[in-house]
Structure 1
Amino acid sequence: MNVNLPLGDRIDLPKLVSSAIPEDRRKKGNTNVAILSDNWTSPTTGMNHNDPNFLSDSFPRDPPKLYITAESPSFDAQTLSDWAAEGFNVEYLPMGEDISEYKETLRTLHRKGLGPCQTFGIIAFGEAAAVCLEHYHVLDNNVEMKLGVLVGYYPSRIPDPATRFPSSVRVLVHLTVGEVGVVKQSQMVGIQGKKRVNRSNVDRGLGVGGTLGMGYRGYAYEVDAGFAERDLEEYDGICAELAWSRSLAVVTKALRPGGEDRENLVEISTHGKFYTRNAQQVMSNYAKDDAPHVTYVPTLTGATGTAALENFYSSRFLNSNPPSLQLTLLSRTVGVDRVVDEMYVSFKHTQEMPWILPSVPPTNKRVEIVLVSIVTLKGGKLHHEHVYWDQASVLVQVGLLDPKLLPQSAKDKGIERLPVIGKKAARQVFGCGNEEGEADNKLINMSESES
């Protein structure tokens, strides 16, 4: 035996499964025998043999199969295109009017051209989501554990939230606040009990994220069903983007190990902006087919569209930053479709800087701020960037805003100064103060708050 070969080259896993589970039983979908783990490489975690991480990253793989399914004969073309751009083999599966025929199609998806250790995913909308969630809540219906991930958007019914799905499938449900049917059905291996559907209220969830306390992952949105489909009147851009990020994270983790080097894409763009000052380098990783945009939020400067964005950086940004400008990365959070940077920025205002001090002549003042950049990616490309900082602090530091210079109306109310901090705030976060990032509350009238 050649011990240097990957495990997949030494063991014919599909043949092993076929030997353990006769073909006629697998076709009927009443399988009670399955491989649960590979004790050779992961004896503690019990990794499923269909898990993409079962084989090495260098093992050749086809693009992961992803079915989008809904009731209508056609579906929102942009959604299909977005998932395909992320590197998935996307196929639309209409539910149609015959539910029995649709369920039979679901039972056969595992046999449609999947290779060794390959799984597939389903993203279902509306009534199709209700059917898929109910169908795959039953262990026996995920034949050979080939379904790796199931995402449901605004289903009319969900399995009992107090229960869990089989561990072989990751499940995510996007619900809208209001009533939903709750399906309760006792089940044992190969045996289904009587089903009943009760009505239940979906609340707004925890915090501002709408997280629901369920046996499987779920989120609530205070909008109408249909909010994620651009071709419907109910479409809501903010909730759709939030749901997209959550869905992409779950689907990517289940079907595609590794993924794009999102951090490196951002680094290349940042290097072009502030170091090489090269517009081509800045734009090299921006999406070309979907209009990208960059907004420096406090001043609403930036541009939308590839040509306008390249012009903005060439004529308004790259050569406007003084040689003294320095960046220090304080923290970075890398998500499945965005990178968030917290940076300490310092410069001497020796030339006009349209992105941060538009139409302000050089003041020769030194400025220190903390800047936050949120970069969103789609299809392995930069899509948009929003940049934030404390503009009042900038104006104080260049002498355009005096915190102690107040209108008489403010003085009449006992206000002694504007609640604005200069460079000390950035220095405190950067670690130049006594304690890194700690507040001192000097702007608060402590005697009044304690009384």
Structure 2
Amino acid sequence: SAFDTPWFNTQGNDFFNSLNKTKIPHVILTSETEDFDEETIQQWRDEGFDTAYVPMLNGGNEYINRVHTQGDNFGVGEYYAIVAFDSAATLILQAHQKPNHPKLVAIVAYYPPIIPSVNTKYPPGIRVLVHLAGTEVGVQRQTEVLGIQGKVKTTQKRLSPGPGYGEPLALSYPAYTYAGIQPGFAERDLDEYDPVAERLAFTRSLTTLRRAFRIEPTTIEVLRDDLVDYEASGRADKALAHIRPYAHVINGPTLTGGVGTKDLDTYYRSFFQPLPPSFRARLLSRTMGTDHICDEIFTSFTHSQEIPWLLPGIPATGKKVEVVMVSI
């Protein structure tokens, strides 16, 4: 074999995987309107994706061609994903059921009013994820008579509410329904915006795109631990360098914290610090997601000074204190 050489046989999986990885992960956002929610666009950019927006306008083949043109403009060897909303999501799902788009690696569809047949099989090279909302959705079905395909019919199907947010559906492609939530829940500039459903859906979308682009898992655990170390050691400037400008910290029991780097700078310097010299923390458990960490922490200290963020307004008692905290 031409590939049976000493050099070839010594190459590991990392080398071969690198041959099929895009240098820059591109995302085309698309919806019905001429412009789109800037916060959602920035959300994807913050995760390291190069983004472009393509409006649906009048739809049809002209719209699909504009989406593909935008994808082709990313350059030779560059791949892209499509994140589509509302009626644009329906058209995108309909247009990519055949393997004729080699640069497309993923489709995420937010609340399409109509979805393909529940038995639709998308090309292996395209990861598909669908988020549904509302009480029903139109499902397409190809009629067939004596082996001859007829017209495509759409039937309205009721969405099962399930016991909570984000229930999986038994379709041939990954899909979730968000009970009690209306279409538009993922766009911050709409009245239907729901932060809980949006956060859950975005985490699922982000996981899908990272797998599609073969992006290695982020060092979120290291970043989290570095941030905690900077906070505990009083290095507020280092802590602030690790967070985004709109980050927020809220201590539920005492409602202390801040929103944005200016408030958090004041919080870290004037409320969180100084910690008691005896303050100790022990990690009990850690649950990690694609873009968040939930820690269960055991803390102990001698109450040798006032601690505004934890025991506000209580002078030092000299007593030993033990508290179990949950940090997200």
Do structure 1's residue 255 and structure 2's residue 217 form an aligned pair? no
SS in 2 for 1:333: strand
Hey, what's the Cα distance between the residues in 2 that align with 1:208 and 1:234?
A: 15
SS in 2 for 1:268: helix
Do structure 1's residue 317 and structure 2's residue 285 form an aligned pair? no
Q: CA RMSD in A?
A: 2.9
Contact 1:206 1:212 in 2 (8 A): no
Structure 2 residue identity aligned to 1:97: N
- CA shift in 2, pair 1:128/1:185, >3 Å: same
The residue number in structure 2 matching 1:119 is 79
Structure 2 unpaired stretches of 5+: none
Hey, what's the Cα distance between the residues in 2 that align with 1:287 and 1:207?
A: 30
The residue number in structure 2 matching 1:217 is 174
Do structure 1's residue 297 and structure 2's residue 258 form an aligned pair? no
* Aligned pair partner of 1:268 in 223, 226, 232: 226
Hey, what's the Cα distance between the residues in 2 that align with 1:41 and 1:184?
A: 45
Q: CA shift at 1:77, angstroms? A: 1.8
Structure 1 residue identity aligned to 2:116: P
Map 1:422-433 → 2, pairs under 5 A = none
Contact 1:174 1:219 in 2 (8 A): yes
The residue number in structure 2 matching 1:198 is 155
Q: CA shift at 1:322, angstroms? A: 1.3
Structure 2 residue identity aligned to 1:228: A
Tell me the alpha carbon deviations over residues 376-402 of structure 1, each in whole angstroms, 9 at most, x when there is no partner. Answer: xxxxxxxxxxxxxxxxxxxxxxxxxxx
**Count, aligned residues:** 321
* Aligned pair partner of 1:332 in 279, 282, 286: 286
Contact 2:54 2:67 in 1 (8 A): no
The residue number in structure 1 matching 2:29 is 68
Contact 1:228 1:236 in 2 (8 A): yes
SS in 1 for 2:177: strand
Tell me the alpha carbon deviations over residues 192-227 of structure 1, each in whole angstroms, 9 at most, x when there is no partner. Answer: 764221110112235544232322222222222112
- CA shift in 2, pair 1:342/1:367, >3 Å: same
The residue number in structure 2 matching 1:169 is 126
Tell me the alpha carbon deviations over residues 308-355 of structure 1, each in whole angstroms, 9 at most, x when there is no partner. Answer: 111111111120x21111111122222221111111211121211111
Tell me the alpha carbon deviations over residues 141-182 of structure 1, each in whole angstroms, 9 at most, x when there is no partner. Answer: x433x3211100110101122444332211111111312110
Q: CA shift at 1:74, angstroms? A: 1.6
Hey, what's the Cα distance between the residues in 2 that align with 1:278 and 1:205?
A: 46
TM-score normalised by structure 2 residue count: 0.87
Do structure 1's residue 183 and structure 2's residue 144 form an aligned pair? no
SS in 2 for 1:299: coil
Hey, what's the Cα distance between the residues in 1 that align with 2:91 and 2:316?
A: 64
Map 1:307-386 → 2, pairs under 5 A = 307-319=262-274, 321-374=275-328
Hey, what's the Cα distance between the residues in 2 that align with 1:332 and 1:212?
A: 29
The residue number in structure 1 matching 2:115 is 158
Map 1:221-232 → 2, pairs under 5 A = 221=178, 222-232=180-190
Do structure 1's residue 102 and structure 2's residue 60 form an aligned pair? no
* Aligned pair partner of 1:147 in 57, 82, 104: 104
Contact 1:64 1:256 in 2 (8 A): no
Structure 1 unpaired stretches of 5+: 8-39, 43-51, 375-451
TM-score normalised by structure 1 residue count: 0.65
Do structure 1's residue 82 and structure 2's residue 40 form an aligned pair? no
Contact 1:268 1:281 in 2 (8 A): no
